[in-house]
Amino acid sequence: MGTLRVLVADDHEIVRKGLRTILEEQPGWEVAGEACDGRETVDKARTLKPDITVVDVSMPGLNGLEATRQMLRQNAETKVLILTMHESDPLIREVLDAGARGYLLKSDATRDLVNAVEAIRRNKTYFTSRVAQIVLDGYLDKKPRASAETDLPATRLTPRQREIVQLLAEGKSSKEVAVALGLSVKTAETHRANIMRRLDCHSVSELVRYAIRNNIIEA
């Protein structure tokens, strides 16, 4: 095999540097680039065309799940390893639905990152032990879909609406949302109104609770 090129995406510099150190200790592996938020991750994946992208779930502006979906839309062959501090069942389902090839807990990264990346490099999947057991048990087939109260955003919102929910939940104004997404302020305000109505949210605090419950942002 030739050189393995990896893109590392995490909003904490110390985490990126740690991942880079582990990856570049492997012969023939190189970190082609780093990204500190979801939008930069999508842009760099498009320009750098890494073999594998290691993506933190919780990033500002655009979370790792949305970044994964966008990367796969622009290149269906993209291989993504999700890195997260959490192991909740709804998050596991979203990671799988987003199309990631692996799911690794940050607490296990020092020990398991190399094995995870190597598995994905060989067109296999890699899941931390609990996730692997859930997949083995056929979780996606057997687990009832969430109720309307806890529906995942993938089933209730468009990709653009999920982006806007994250920005609003992070405290951005309609003007700031417009600037971030290249929209007019009026269009951003229309999106906001439609989202609030669709989710039956009557305040930003309710929208924040929705975003936390559906893994769009962290508490």
pLDDT, tens only, 138-152: 655 555 444 434 444
Query: Last residue of some domain: 85, 107, 141?
Result: 141
At 143, phi and psi to the nearest 5? -75, 125
Give the residue numbers spanning the domain of 155: 148-213
26 with 56, same domain: the answer is yes
CATH (domain of 61): 3.40.50.2300
Average pLDDT value for residue range 200-212: 84
133 with 160, same domain: the answer is no
103 with 197, same domain: the answer is no
21 with 86, same domain: the answer is yes
29 with 128, same domain: the answer is yes
Residue 64: name the closest of 55, 51, 72, 73 by CA.
55
Q: Do 55 and 94 form a contact (C-beta atoms < 8 A)? A: no
134 with 173, same domain: the answer is no
Tell me what percent of the residues of the chain surpass a pLDDT of 90: 46
The per-residue pLDDT for 202 is 83
Sheet holding 52-56, edge to edge: 29-35, 4-9, 52-56, 80-84, 102-105, 126-127
Average pLDDT value for residue range 168-184: 89
The per-residue pLDDT for 166 is 86
CATH (domain of 178): 1.10.10.10
The per-residue pLDDT for 213 is 79
Tell me what percent of the residues of the chain surpass a pLDDT of 70: 87
Residue 50 lies in a domain: yes
Q: Which residue has the higher pLDDT, 139 or 40?
A: 40
206 with 129, same domain: the answer is no
How many separate domains does the chain show?
2
61 with 90, same domain: the answer is yes
pLDDT, tens only, 119-130: 999 999 898 776
85 with 51, same domain: the answer is yes
State the pTM of this model. 0.73
pLDDT, tens only, 67-105: 999 999 999 888 999 998 877 777 777 888 888 999 999
164 with 112, same domain: the answer is no
Beta bridge partners of 82: 55, 103
Residue 218 lies in a domain: no
The per-residue pLDDT for 131 is 67
Question: Which of 127-131, 166-170, 203-207 has the least mean pLDDT?
Answer: 127-131
115 with 159, same domain: the answer is no
